Amino acid sequence: MTEDFLYLLRVRYSECDSQQIVFNAKYVEYIDVASMEYFRKVFGDYKNLLKKGVDISVVNVNVSWKSPATYDDIIAMTFKLKKIGNTSITYSIGFSNFKTKEEVAIGEITYVMVSIQEFQKTAIPTEIREQLETGATGVVNHAGIKI
């Protein structure tokens, strides 16, 4: 299991609310986008998961805020595998300000493995479980900054 995946994004003006901070619902969107990049690294291509006749579906997502993020901040998101069950996978996601290192939020997301044909939950196949346990490394830099 690895914790070496980092996703970087730059807060866009349209993501801020009237208080000039990132609107709370955007954090779930950030988790979704970063998760797909994470899974793209885990499986080589997300389509490789689908070719095995399974997919993942979100069943729970939570966010707790620690400090605000504002327009043009660079948010660093780190993923940590928290639990793999028989049919589910849970990750904790840390949000921090890339420049100041200040903690912005903590998220958690749980997926359930589903069969593509019946769209019913199914046990995680051994090969996929091994890929999930190995995890992903590297950086996906959608912020466009030098690191």
Tell me the pairing of strands 138-141 and 5-10: parallel
Angle at 136 between CA 119 and CA 134, to 5 degrees: 80
**What is residue 4's predicted lDDT score, i.e. its pLDDT?**
76
Confidence of residue 2 (pLDDT cuts 50, 70, 90): very low
Full-model pTM: 0.93
Distance CA(85)–CA(94), nearest Å, equals 21
Mean of the pLDDT values across residues 107-136?
Answer: 96
* Confidence class for position 47, pLDDT limits 50, 70, 90: very high
> In three state form, how does the secondary structure of 80-134 look?
EEEEECCCEEEEEEEEEECCCCCEEEEEEEEEEEEECCCCCECCCCHHHHHHHHH
